[in-house]
Amino acid sequence: MATKKPFVKIQCQECKRVNYFTHKSKKMAEEKLGLNKFCKWCRRHTLHKEGKK
């Protein structure tokens, strides 16, 4: 279905909160491995990973 865009949640691995949403793309495939992003809940940079559906 072309109308259904897959998007993924980017989840903080410290507090398990979802901080970011991103559309899934081939360019972002490497993000599955983990990202250092700022978590507003932890108030620091933490490891973020793609959340499961």
Q: Can you tell me which of 9, 24, 42, 51 binds Zn ion, judged by CB under 5 A?
A: 42
Q: Is 18 in the site for Zn ion (CB under 5 A)?
A: no
Q: Is 37 in the site for Zn ion (CB under 5 A)?
A: no
In angstroms, the CA 8 to CA 49 distance is 10
E runs forming strands in 1-53: 7-12, 18-23, 35-39, 44-50
Q: Can you tell me which of 15, 18, 25, 29 binds Zn ion, judged by CB under 5 A?
A: 15
How many other β-carbons are positioned within 10 Å of the β-carbon of residue 41? 12
Binding site for Zn ion (CB under 5 A): 12, 14-15, 39, 41-42
